[in-house]
Amino acid sequence: MKIAVLPGDGIGPEITEQAVRVLRALSREGLRIEMETAPVGGAAVDATGDPLPESTLKVAQAADAILFGSVGGPKYDSLPRAQRPEQGLLRLRKHFDLYANLRPAIVYPELAHASTLKTEVVAGLDLLILRELTGDIYFGQPRGVRTTESGEREGFDTMRYTEREIRRIAHTAFRAARKRSLRVCSVDKANVLETTQFWRDVVTEVHREYEDVALSHMYVDNAAMQLIRNPKQFDVIVTGNMFGDILSDEASMLTGSIGMLPSASLNESSYGLYEPIHGSAPDIAGKDIANPLATILSAAMLLRYSLDQEEAATRIEQAVRKVLAQGFRTADIAEAGKRTVGTTEMGEAVIAAL
């Protein structure tokens, strides 16, 4: 089984290195995996002028899954859009049709205090945000900046969803709920936006095939509020690309740190890209202080969803639980009386716990 490792920018290389070490530890015990590293994002712009060079795409195509770090940095912010690091990621999502983005938000008992919310509001939370990842205003055409007839400039983007796109993510949501607590909340803005009224109608149609699953609908503004008021009311939240982007950052804070949240982006044939949901954090890059757990947990998801190695995936997740229980903390989840460790040491602690 082959894994393409794309570390990217900022803290990407440091956190990916720890996940790779964890995978290597498993491979020494017989897990048959090969890894190949390739540049993406700003690193690829520096090397080739393109955030997703053909050579990197080839490495990804030859693999069964991608382990991705993070992309972006102030150095690249003024480049033309096509050369921005984020395009490397967006093009990978589109190229491999990675429409289903799973963003679980789990509150580990040891970290319940680390949330800015009251412990009783978040303790025990286990939520799955399922974000559609290849449609919506992120990819809709036309888009751009134009001059109107009156000579005024205006910026515009297009929000759109096809029936097929909504159907397949709805199926994914209901199937995911069947493995969890049988509840799906579909988030939209049907009171204002045509696209999302259509989303609501199609999700409701697909639901007829899943009568054992309870479906509710919620407007996105209310959902943003309910997520911090009473997050435990949710099991699976399914939503479009942009609302999912925003709500998943919000949900990460329920868990104490954005440095804890892994994600999987899957297509219809279980090919996947796995990445922490956080960004490249240029301000702390190269300092060996970033939390590698989101990336290590992403590697676990990779083993589960793309390589069908449930046992190895569970071992990594249990090792992460163990190091938290043992009191290892990176700076983002630091706690009085507990040992604050750096990126490398946290990676080593996970390997020891394996």
Active-site hit among 136, 188, 235, 245: 245
Min dist CB 189 to ligand IPM, Å, is 18
Q: Hey, CA dihedral for 176, 273, 158, 252, is it positive or negative?
A: positive
- Is residue 354 classed exposed, middle or buried when 0-12, 13-18 and 19+ CB atoms within 10 A define those classes? middle
Min dist CB 7 to Mg ion, Å, is 19
Min dist CB 6 to Mg ion, Å, is 17
Token pair belonging to 319: 């090792």
Residue 291, classed as helix, strand or coil, is coil
Question: 2 an active-site residue?
Answer: no
Min dist CB 245 to ligand IPM, Å, is 5
Q: Which is nearer to Mg ion, 71 or 316 (CB)?
A: 71
Question: 138 an active-site residue?
Answer: yes
Question: 338 an active-site residue?
Answer: no
Round to whole Å and give the CA distance between 176 and 164.
Answer: 18
Round to whole Å and give the CA distance between 220 and 184.
Answer: 14
Q: Which is nearer to Mg ion, 121 or 246 (CB)?
A: 246
Choose which of 110, 235, 245, 332 interacts with Mg ion (CB under 5 A). Answer: 245
Q: Which of Mg ion, ligand IPM, none does residue 89 bind (CB under 5 to 8 Å by kind)?
A: ligand IPM
Question: 108 an active-site residue?
Answer: no
Choose which of 245, 260, 301, 324 interacts with ligand IPM (CB under 6 A). Answer: 245
What's the Cα-to-Cα distance from 321 to each of 106, 314, 327, 350, 354, rounded to whole Å? 11, 10, 10, 9, 11
Residue 347, classed as helix, strand or coil, is helix
Q: Which is nearer to ligand IPM, 14 or 245 (CB)?
A: 245
Q: Which of Mg ion, ligand IPM, none does residue 86 bind (CB under 5 to 8 Å by kind)?
A: ligand IPM
CB 88 within 8 A of CB 31: no
Q: Which is nearer to Mg ion, 182 or 246 (CB)?
A: 246
Q: In one letter, which amino acid is 237?
A: I
Choose which of 25, 45, 57, 89 interacts with ligand IPM (CB under 6 A). Answer: 89
Helices 12-28, 343-353: crossing angle, 10 deg rounding = 20
> Which residues form the interface with ligand IPM (CB under 6 A)?
86, 89-90, 245, 277
- Could you give the residue numbers annotated as active site? 138, 189, 221, 245, 249
